[in-house]
Amino acid sequence: MGIENVVENKKKQSLRNNEYYQTQELYDLLYEKSKRGSHFHNLVEMITERENILLAYRNIKSNRGSNTPGVNNTVIDDLARWTPKEMTRYVRERLEYYEPMPVRREYIPKP
């Protein structure tokens, strides 16, 4: 399977996930408005909707790097044992007083 097929399959899966959580119509509307120059404020409400949080989890868990620990030493599988309600509550609480964590940086020696 070529890289083009892999990319196309990921796009199709992402679209199916959006349709499953009924977010595609909203994303299309926001995209159209942005193309016409609209500006958006207070998108946190949309970000913290249950469906959006579960969609993000579903998309992230299939990423190749999802098993690489972050700066807080957790991986996406650590969330798999939670119920959707617990996960939604966790994400909402984290975003309520969000402060970015330090960037994890790995220097690669150059010859």
Please tell me what DSSP assigns to residue 100: P
Task: List CB contacts of 40: < 8 A, sequence separation 6 or more.
Answer: 30, 33, 34
pLDDT at 4: 60
Q: Is the pTM of this model over 0.85?
A: no
pLDDT values of the chain reduced to their tens digit, one per residue, 111 residues: 565 655 555 656 666 777 777 788 888 989 999 999 999 888 888 889 999 999 989 888 888 888 888 888 888 888 888 999 999 999 899 888 887 778 888 888 998
Where does residue 106 rank: exposed (0-12), middle (13-18), buried (19+ CB within 10 A)? exposed
Return the structure tokens found at 42: 């207070």
